[in-house]
Amino acid sequence: MSSPSLKDLVDQWLLLDSNSETRNEIQSLWNRNELDELERRMRARIEFGTAGLRGRMEAGWARMNDLIIIQASQGLAAYVLQHVEGAITRGLVVGHDHRHHSEHWARLTAQVFLAKNIKVYLLRGLNHTPMVPFSVKELNAACGVMITASHNPKQDNGYKVYWENGVQIIAPHDEGISQAIQLNLQPQKYDASSLSLCVDLTASLQKKYFECLKLLNRTRGLNATLEHTFVNTSMHGVSDAFVKQAFDIFGFPPYTPVLEQQKPDPEFPTVLFPNPEEKGALDLALATAEKTGVGYVLAQDPDSDRFTAAERSETGEWILFTGDQLGSLFASRVLHAYKASNAPVEKLAMVASTVSSKMIEAMAKLKGFKFVECLTGFKFIGNTALHLEAEGYDVPFGYEEAIGFMFGSQIRDKDGVAATVTFAELVASLPAQGKTVNGHLQELYERYGYFETRNSYFICNDSQLTNRIFTDIRNREPHLTSASYPKTLASLCINRIVDLTTGYDSGNPPSYTPSLPLSSGHMIQIRAGSEVLGINLVLTLRTSGTEPKIKYYLEGSGKDAKTVDSLLSKAVADISENWVQANKHGIRKA
């Protein structure tokens, strides 16, 4: 079947789009003969995947707009009615953040579901993303939708879907919903007056959320002593109100807000990329801390599901903790609390993404609890936690290196507010022991080994070249009839290879089948090491699903920082020169 002409795509848009602004946007582009721009916007439809939808807010099939929201909601409603028992009465939870169009799209989504006679719980006002999965579980709802683009630039927005289990959707639901959308493209007419039928339980749900959050409170007696200890930035997002309330419940004195970033602002005027991980994103927070003499900086991303922190050292320099360092600190704290409860440690389980640090794995081996890794993303972390629960384990913690942390059993998703108060309580617990957070981290390194990550990526705009690079890695000795991966990394012998593209795991005989699901793109993980030297490397090479990148996640571990740092530098050079062969292929590393 031949693909439709650009004119057909434009005509179809003009026929279906009832929003005069976006309809005129496409008509104007056509009138001005801006065919290249129309091709970018109209040729490929925005893809519904395991993260739902996310993209630039503009007119067109490849963008986020009213028509796309209506079609997605029509497909989701049809799929839920078909696959979730009692969906009509169990209903939909829908929430939104502060971005442009967020409230409008939440209301549009609600109208579509109401037209199908499905009950809708519309969370009023600005909410942080964890409120949606929390509410889905609390209400036993059929599904949930959060309108947010998390930490994307201001031009973007998104449509995040949670299944009836309160976890982001995974296969086969992503594909099933995508197919249902294709079968429900004809937009119906919706009446905004139907929103009066929405059920508003926002206040009671938020109250229950904070009651559950309070279960994490362990150092209330010490918390009140932390006067002028924290600066907090909400990154122009929604977190300030939620973190303020959490601080009050936990008994902390008020923090010092970064005034320029305190209020929700969809323009994000002080940051180009409102992601606390981005270079320079914490500059205002650090400057505020310097001016006020505060020793710790706390930060949430705009929809408050991610968290990071920084500590002023004795020399006055700032230590910005990585996601892996925070994950290890939190895991140690959770382990300590679990043991203090006298629960059997063999019933404890923790989860991390496969590209995250292996330090928790080292903890688990030494302390006797179960550690499980899964594919990247909280859709996998949350579902893995549910599977472990079904097997009889307690799963109070999970994380991924991209500063996402899950606490307790009420929310099987990352929660920046929970992470913020957990970190603050860690700070409160240490002065009596004469420690700082970084000092405590160094003690953990002495106990479990020193772990350091060195993550980056190569920019490759040619998908065929990317395929060729991975094919070459799998066939380093082309004269052999079977796959032949490299034998060493940074002169260390490789002792395990897991290829989640081809479905091969050298460490799982006799089937050699990986325990993890296969990846939709290229993904190879290797472990290399020397028992004699006591050093190890873990490397994951993968393609990005949204960007022209070959990403690598590299972690070294050993007895001391100097040895590991040298090992990582050698490994980075080996990856570039011999694995990806960047110079040969003319591609550059970030």
User: Per-residue pLDDT tens for 157-209?
Assistant: 999 999 999 999 998 999 999 999 999 999 999 999 999 999 999 999 999 99
Is 546's pLDDT higher than 90? no
User: Exactly one of 150, 234, 353, 519 is catalytic; which is it?
Assistant: 150
257 and 297 housed in the same domain:
yes
Specify the pTM: 0.95
Domain that holds residue 79: 44-190
Which DSSP symbol is given to 59? S
| Residue 567: inside a domain | yes
pLDDT band at 277 (very low <50, low <70, confident <90, very high): very high
Give residue 533's pLDDT.
92
| Residue 7: inside a domain | no
542 and 554 housed in the same domain:
yes
What 3-state DSSP class applies to 472?
helix
Report yes or no: 561 and 441 within 8 Å, Cβ to Cβ: no
Candidates 73, 156, 71; CA nearest to 109 is 73
Task: Give the residue from 448, 476, 504 where a domain finishes.
Answer: 448
Give residue 481's pLDDT.
59
| 241-259: pLDDT as tens digits | 999 999 999 999 999 999 9
155 and 261 housed in the same domain:
no
> CA-CA distance, 126 to 202, in Å (whole number)?
10
Cβ-proximal residues to 429 (8 Å cutoff; 6+ apart), any chain: 218, 219, 222
> CA-CA distance, 401 to 275, in Å (whole number)?
14
Average pLDDT on 372-380 reads 93
359 and 479 housed in the same domain:
no
Report yes or no: 546 and 521 within 8 Å, Cβ to Cβ: no
Give residue 519's pLDDT.
85
Candidates 247, 212, 213; CA nearest to 232 is 247
Cβ-proximal residues to 41 (8 Å cutoff; 6+ apart), any chain: 26, 29, 58, 59, 60, 61, 62, 63
283 and 267 housed in the same domain:
yes
231 and 252 housed in the same domain:
yes
Sign of torsion over alpha carbons 167, 170, 173, 174: positive
| Residue 376: inside a domain | yes
Which DSSP symbol is given to 304? S
Which DSSP symbol is given to 247? H
Which DSSP symbol is given to 413? S
Domain count, the chain: 3
Task: Give the residue from 388, 422, 448 where a domain finishes.
Answer: 448
Place of tokens 């996402």: 404
281 and 172 housed in the same domain:
no
Query: What's the burial of 115, exposed, middle or buried (CB within 10 Å: 0-12/13-18/19+)?
Result: middle
List the CATH number of the domain containing 123. 3.40.120.10
383 and 311 housed in the same domain:
yes
Place of tokens 């505060």: 294
Candidates 505, 521, 524; CA nearest to 575 is 524
Report the side by side order of strands in the sheet with 404-407: 370-374, 348-353, 394-400, 404-407
Average pLDDT on 327-336 reads 98
Give residue 479's pLDDT.
64
284 and 426 housed in the same domain:
yes
> CA-CA distance, 103 to 218, in Å (whole number)?
36
> CA-CA distance, 323 to 311, in Å (whole number)?
14
Note the Cα 377 to chain centre separation in Å: 6
| Residue 18: inside a domain | no
The answer for 352, left when phi > 0, alpha when psi is -120 to 50, beta otherwise, is beta
List the CATH number of the domain containing 566. 3.30.310.50
Percent of the chain past pLDDT 90, that is, above it, reads 92
Query: Is 150 annotated in the active site?
Result: yes
| Residue 21: inside a domain | no
> CA-CA distance, 176 to 81, in Å (whole number)?
12
Rg of the chain, C-alpha, whole Å: 25
Is 340's pLDDT higher than 80? yes
> CA-CA distance, 241 to 232, in Å (whole number)?
12
Average pLDDT on 455-460 reads 94
pLDDT band at 220 (very low <50, low <70, confident <90, very high): confident
> CA-CA distance, 586 to 461, in Å (whole number)?
11
| Residue 198: inside a domain | no
471 and 435 housed in the same domain:
no
Is 480's pLDDT higher than 70? no
| Residue 568: inside a domain | yes
Task: Give the residue from 415, 448, 481 where a domain finishes.
Answer: 448
> CA-CA distance, 544 to 520, in Å (whole number)?
10
464 and 431 housed in the same domain:
no
Give residue 1's pLDDT.
56
Cβ-proximal residues to 171 (8 Å cutoff; 6+ apart), any chain: 50, 517
pLDDT band at 326 (very low <50, low <70, confident <90, very high): very high
CB atoms within 10 A of CB 21: 10
Q: 372 is written with which tokens?
A: 């499980």
Give residue 77's pLDDT.
98
578 and 441 housed in the same domain:
no
| Residue 102: inside a domain | yes
